Amino acid sequence: MNIRALVIHLERARDRRAQVDRILAEAPVPGEVLDAMDARTIPAEHLGGYTRQLHKPRYPFECSKAEIACFLSHRKAWQAIVDKGLDAGLIIEDDVEFAPGFKEIYEHALSVVQPGDFVRFAKDNRERVRRPLLQDTACHVFVPKTVGLGMLAQLVTREAARKLLAATEVFDRPVDTLLQMTWITGVRMLTVHPSPVRDVSETLGGTTVQHGRGKPAKLRREIVRPLYRIAINRRSRRERP
């Protein structure tokens, strides 16, 4: 398969460049840097892709510019997969560290991937199995009951990228939250356990997305977020894999 690694990296985050080089050196396929959209300088015309409360269940929070920029960066990666004619892209954020055995787990996951699949290499092992696809001593690959959150690393086939681009010309929530809604995207989401990646953002100066929320906003999120999760879980249970 024609697969390339696409490392999403914010150009001004120069303290992460060494980590980007490590990711490219350790990735199981050749790769390149994909310039992330910068929340500080994002053009106004790109902000037009975001609107509030487009899909049900309604997302109860307004996205920050950083969350919008993150979403647009992943759309840029999906577009690159299509434009380059790749069979799939291994999209990696620049605060990722591969765990020992990543290449072996990646190869096992690749063995069950079909056109149109989106494979999540999550940072934890929280998802529950809806339908197993591969049960091996090295890893398990399955369709989850509810798609987990986080965008550290994922294998996105060209067909999945096309569907996601079409489904997200307008979006109303963060990218990982939208990807939970398979009834909107039409994409089969797969999860790999055990987690073969680590989030090392704290050692690199912290995340570039979740900054700038005051105490009242954080408190409201703690109250409202569980209700939203219940709504997503209920809808996910009704969907067929």
**How does DSSP classify residue 40?**
T
**pLDDT tens column, 129-151:** 999 999 988 899 999 999 999 99
Distance CA 227, CA 223 (A): 8
Q: Which domains does the chain have, with CATH numbers?
A: 3-238 (3.90.550)
Task: Return the SS3 of 107.
Answer: helix
**pLDDT tens column, 32-81:** 999 999 999 988 877 889 999 999 999 999 999 999 999 999 999 999 99
Task: Return the SS3 of 195.
Answer: coil
**pLDDT tens column, 190-232:** 999 998 999 998 887 656 554 556 677 777 788 899 999 999 9
φ and ψ at 126, to 5 degrees?
-90, -25
**How does DSSP classify residue 203?**
G
CA distances from 165 to 73, 128, 132, 140, 229 (A): 12, 27, 27, 28, 24
Distance CA 126, CA 129 (A): 10
pLDDT at 48: 81
Task: Return the SS3 of 59.
Answer: coil
Cβ-contact 69, 37 below 8 angstroms = yes
Instruction: Provide the whole-model pTM.
Output: 0.92
pLDDT at 86: 98
φ and ψ at 93, to 5 degrees?
-80, 160
Strands (E) across the chain are located at 3-9, 31-35, 88-93, 96-98, 117-121, 129-135, 140-144, 153-157, 188-193, 197-199
CA geometry: angle at 17 spanning 90 and 168, to 5°?
40
- For 59, half-sphere exposure in the C-beta direction (CA atoms, 13 angstrom radius) is 20
pLDDT at 162: 98
**How does DSSP classify residue 57?**
S
